[in-house]
A and B are shown apart, each in its own frame.
Chain A
Amino acid sequence: MNEDEKQRAQALIERLLTEAHEHAGKEKYKEALIAIRKARALDSANIYILAFERQVEQLNESTAAGTITDLQKTDILESLPGIIEQARVNQAPLTTPEAAGEERRPTPEQQEQLRAARQWLKNQYFQRAHEHVKNQEYDNALAELRRVFIIDSEDQFAREFELKILQMQELQRRKPLFVSDPSETEPDLPPSLADEPALPPPDKAQKGNRLLMIAMIIAVCVIAFAFYYFWKREQVAQPVVPEASEEIEESKADDEPFYPIPAGSQADSTKTDSTHTP
């Protein structure tokens, strides 16, 4: 174990011991035991971690059995600070956090699988969000994006999608009567399942649904394109003078994509800045 791994392991042990002590203080013995055992996996030769574990086990077992007296509980709780202090002082991690199952660092192959699985999941959320946008259910669409953020808080695509949805939501609030067919601003689809090489194999029904959905989306896009074309022609013929702010919003909505397409989600992956233009 190199110095860096050692320091990370020590920091983790420190955190786990503190966490366990806090849990024990709140009588959450099972949670405390989970934390202690994680610490033990990192430093199996630390007798004070073993002692800490035993003390909490005793608390857990005898509390569950209803056999512990207040005095016994106090005795054990009073013994913990010293034991934990020694567990800290005597830290000599023998195992890296990775090897102990904590902060596991996957292999490149595992990393790729993980990335693909995450992307597959995100796509699902994007699709659902998209459905909700189509139905002008912006709250639901935002909820789907929040799920994306749980997986990947840095997802820029989702951030921009969220912004657009918020804008749509705002527009809906301000101009409740202004109803545009969401398909007008239909963005390109999020990456399809087929784009992801290491996805878990979907079952046949799921596959059928997806194809149907893709077909429908393409159809919607074609219809939207047609509507947009005619609407644009009308607008050019009879221009509306909006308020300043609205003008900006509307023009933005016209000139920029509804949300950007993430890299690799298009058939042509090099077209990363493709915009939704008629």
Chain B
Amino acid sequence: MQRRCPLLLFLLFAFFLSSRAQWRSIGNVDSYVVRGGNSVHLKASGATVEVYVLSDHLVRIRCIPPAASSQLPPDVSRAVVKTDWPATTAEVTDASDALTLTTRALSVTIRKHPLRIAVADSTGTPLTRDHPGKGFSWSTAQAEPGAGTPSGTEVRVWHLMPPDANYYGFGEKAGPLARNHKHMTMWNSDIPAYSSATDPLYQTIPFFLTVRNGKAHGLFFDNSYWSSFDMGKESRDQYSFGAEGGELNYYVIAGPSPRLVLQRFTELVGRMPLPPRWSLGYQQCRWSYAPESRVREIAQGFRSRAIPCDVLYLDIDYMEGYRVFTWSATNFPDPKRMISDLGAQGFRVAVILDPGIKTDSSYAAFRSGLEGKHFLTYPDGRLYFGDVWPGRCAFPDFTSSAARRWWGDQMEDLIRTGVRGYWNDMNEPSVFNVPTKTVDLQVMHDDDGLRTTHAKNHNVYGLEMTRASYEGALRHNPAERPFVLTRASYAGGQRYSAAWTGDNVASWEHLELALTMCLNLGISGQPFVGSDIGGFIGHPSGELFARWLQLGAFTPLMRAHTVINEKNKEPWEYGETFTGINRQTINLRYTMLPYLYGVMAEASATGLPAMRPLLFEYPDDSRFVHEGSSFLLGSDLLVAPVLWPEAREREVRFPQGAWYDYWTGKPIAGGRNETVPAPLDRIPLFVREGAILPSQQVVQHTGEAPIDPLTLTVFPLQSNGTAVRTYYEDDGLSFDYQKGVVLRRTHMQQRIGSTLIIDIGAAEGSYLPPSRSLVVRCVNAEKAPVSVYVNGVMIAQQVSPSGHTATPEWSYAPAERQVYVHCSDSRSAQRIEFRYE
């Protein structure tokens, strides 16, 4: 044994050396050229490095390893949509040991010996710093078997990691909100019944937000190969990111607020187009509602129980033998008529679209795909086949513009039949009969003419499928905004689709996961998110479903779903008590639609998430660093869902400022934690002081009736001051909003001593909603005002708080401690004054 010890030690040492020796770190700068005052081209150790200052707040760093440096690869991205940045001139300082490019907000320092890059903000605070010993590196060893990349193509960079920095985003990641000390892989994967430790999952968004000392910046690593982020797991003083192929191509985005970072990131990768309003209604899904009679029964189930619902889904059993774009003649003999009938009841129908095309010579989609050469092939031209639901399938090459168009054309019949929702599933892409669970990595993609492997295109497959679906729907039904829902995607996926968190489980753990996953997706640029309410796999208790539905009422996508051969999971399946609670929850969602629609309009215009972790709005409050159990919907609504069984109260961490309990209207002092009641039938909900929350009457579906009355609930300022809010509305369906056919109003409230003034701004934009009443409701009125004025004219007080009259009137409800003003909703500005003395 003693003789063996040195040998063992030697072998261990050799193994250690070999494992370390696979990375080659970039050395000294050999040559460099400064171009146009805003970019630098450098050569070092055979590698090429380019630094671009795209704007005052945005820097791009592109490192190309020696293996690819001889001929620079084409500079293309599936994520980035903005490339025409206005010329920004940085101040370039060329010293012997370093080059510095300085803008108003950023400075990039490029050390020459060895080449190391640091980005700092205008105060000199470092945002990113290459690790002195490592920096940009590339592999010298053979890549892992199956990686699909040749030797020497792996790229990675190590940055110094300050101990007080916290990291968020990274797309779809299960587990805690802050991702410090985690190693995360980016490889779209179909993992049903995942856990908090499962990684990777369905979507890849290689972007993260760093928050440190109340300041934020972002980093987007635009590389679609198998990639990974190690946020201090390998070593607490450094984080790293890299990929098995391609370039080390990343963007550093300055803040200092998380809002600004998200706005700038989404300016780069694109923002969500405004979704149709009906897609914000309640959506009911299961695998599968079939046959037709069952779908009608479900529809009737909602209407007969007065539970609002806008969308019914058809899962894979609507097809003939799982052939996408076909209808099962047995289950759905007359789909057009069924959809038309459902439409008359106010339902829209969404169908699942899987990418796998069954290899069947009598199947039109297979034939036309084959003829058009739209399927993936091996390098020698052989078709790639993989097993999915229908058995042996070919897979469309969505990276080809021709294939995307072909796919969109296949959708035409569905659209003519009346389908309005396009649920893109299995698009990781998932393949059943191989251990890798996906397409062979050596399979070739057109990649819009570049001819690259699946290793490069795997993570963008879902994104490009949603693009094909969105563009196809738009082409064949240009008058309406498409609604596409996807399981897999990549950075920028919000341009084409909403996303849900995949095949979750009916458990309390998954309810918690759903929230943090949605929050991190929002931080990663995807605002239109939700989870399968009630859990896809398994059957929830009535309590779990009710609590999940309450959370779902405040996620932009509100969809319940369940797996095949599982018990029914509609809102009325848990007994009368829960049916009542669930109805109330969905009613709440529908009354909140004017607010939610405004939040989505803001997300569409700015890229801000709809669901915001508290740290997003309050980055300098250390209580929110790990707070993933409550969130803000928009800016004004603090949602604290109950995520634990049998809980009838919960602690809420209130941000600074004053808040109101939505249910009681009672004020709550901010800046502290408080335990609040959480009865089974109510989600704890709070509103920021100064908010003017728009709401509407309960409807059974969004198309049932126009908003009438529009209620503006005023949560009064508690001390002298002014608060401004914007109201947004449009037709909810067409693209006319892009032509200015919108209704935008700026509302303002002012407290001056005992007088509260509400200014309803004049209507902007040309959208004209049908004539309707306006109710201005002021909460927390301890007593009735002495007088109320509308546009300077004192109005009469009525006894009943709910009357609709032609002339303005006001009333006071002492039990609710609320003052109501009823008037018509004209386009002109109105001033309402509540005088308490």
Which chain A residues have a beta carbon within 8 Å of chain B's beta carbons?
A: 44-48, 50-51, 53-54, 57, 67, 71-72, 75-76, 78-83, 85-86, 89-90, 92
Determine whether the beta carbon of B433 is less than 8 Å from that of A47.
Answer: no
Determine whether the beta carbon of B321 is less than 8 Å from that of A71.
Answer: yes
CB-defined contacts of A47 to chain B, threshold 8 Å: 192-193, 503, 536-537, 563-564
Determine whether the beta carbon of B321 is less than 8 Å from that of A85.
Answer: no
- Least CB distance, A220 to chain B, in whole angstroms: 62
Interface residues on B, range: 20 to 34
Determine whether the beta carbon of A81 is less than 8 Å from that of B564.
Answer: no
Determine whether the beta carbon of A75 is less than 8 Å from that of B390.
Answer: yes
Which residue in A54, A78, A90, A92 is a CB contact (below 8 Å) of B390? A78
- Least CB distance, A178 to chain B, in whole angstroms: 69
Bound Cα distance A85, B565 (Å): 19
Bound Cα distance A203, B705 (Å): 77
- What number of A-B contacts does a CB cutoff of 8 Å give? 71
Determine whether the beta carbon of A50 is less than 8 Å from that of B565.
Answer: yes
Q: Given known contacts A45-B538, A75-B320, A75-B391, what 15 new A-B pairs fall within 8 Å (CB)?
A: A47-B564, A50-B563, A50-B564, A51-B389, A53-B564, A53-B565, A78-B392, A79-B322, A79-B389, A81-B432, A82-B387, A82-B432, A86-B437, A89-B437, A90-B193
Whether B435 sits at the interface, judged by CB under 8 Å, is yes
Bound Cα distance A264, B49 (Å): 88
CB-defined contacts of B435 to chain A, threshold 8 Å: 89
Whether B439 sits at the interface, judged by CB under 8 Å, is no
Q: Known: A44-B538, A47-B193, A75-B322. Contact between A82 and B565, CB under 8 A?
A: no
Which chain B residues have a beta carbon within 8 Å of chain A's beta carbons?
A: 192-193, 320-322, 330, 358, 387-392, 432-433, 435, 437, 503, 505, 536-538, 563-566
Determine whether the beta carbon of B193 is less than 8 Å from that of A54.
Answer: no
Which residue in A50, A67, A72, A86 is a CB contact (below 8 Å) of B566? A50
Chain B residue at smallest Cβ distance from A43:
B193
Q: Known: A47-B537, A79-B322. Contact between A90 and B192, CB under 8 A?
A: yes
Which residue in A57, A75, A89, A92 is a CB contact (below 8 Å) of B321? A75
CB-defined contacts of A76 to chain B, threshold 8 Å: 321
Bound Cα distance A76, B564 (Å): 16
Bound Cα distance A57, B387 (Å): 21
CB-defined contacts of B390 to chain A, threshold 8 Å: 75, 78-79
Determine whether the beta carbon of B564 is less than 8 Å from that of A92.
Answer: no
CB-defined contacts of B437 to chain A, threshold 8 Å: 86, 89
Chain A residue at smallest Cβ distance from B539:
A44
10 pairs of A and B residues whose beta carbons are closest in the complex: A82-B387, A75-B321, A78-B391, A82-B432, A45-B193, A86-B432, A45-B537, A54-B564, A79-B391, A85-B433
Bound Cα distance A90, B321 (Å): 23
Determine whether the beta carbon of A45 is less than 8 Å from that of B192.
Answer: yes
Determine whether the beta carbon of A82 is less than 8 Å from that of B193.
Answer: no
- Least CB distance, B286 to chain A, in whole angstroms: 12
CB-defined contacts of A57 to chain B, threshold 8 Å: 565
- What are 21 A-to-B residue pairs whose CB atoms are below 8 Å? A44-B537, A45-B537, A45-B538, A46-B192, A47-B192, A47-B563, A50-B564, A50-B565, A51-B564, A54-B564, A72-B321, A76-B321, A81-B387, A81-B391, A82-B389, A82-B432, A83-B389, A85-B387, A85-B432, A86-B432, A86-B437
- Least CB distance, A66 to chain B, in whole angstroms: 13
Q: Known: A78-B392, A82-B391. Contact between A46 and B433, CB under 8 A?
A: no
- Least CB distance, A74 to chain B, in whole angstroms: 8
Determine whether the beta carbon of B321 is less than 8 Å from that of A83.
Answer: no
CB-defined contacts of A53 to chain B, threshold 8 Å: 564-565
Which residue in B433, B563, B564 is a CB contact (below 8 Å) of A82? B433
Chain A residue at smallest Cβ distance from B535:
A45
Bound Cα distance A85, B387 (Å): 9
- Least CB distance, B183 to chain A, in whole angstroms: 22
CB-defined contacts of B564 to chain A, threshold 8 Å: 47, 50-51, 53-54
Bound Cα distance A238, B388 (Å): 88
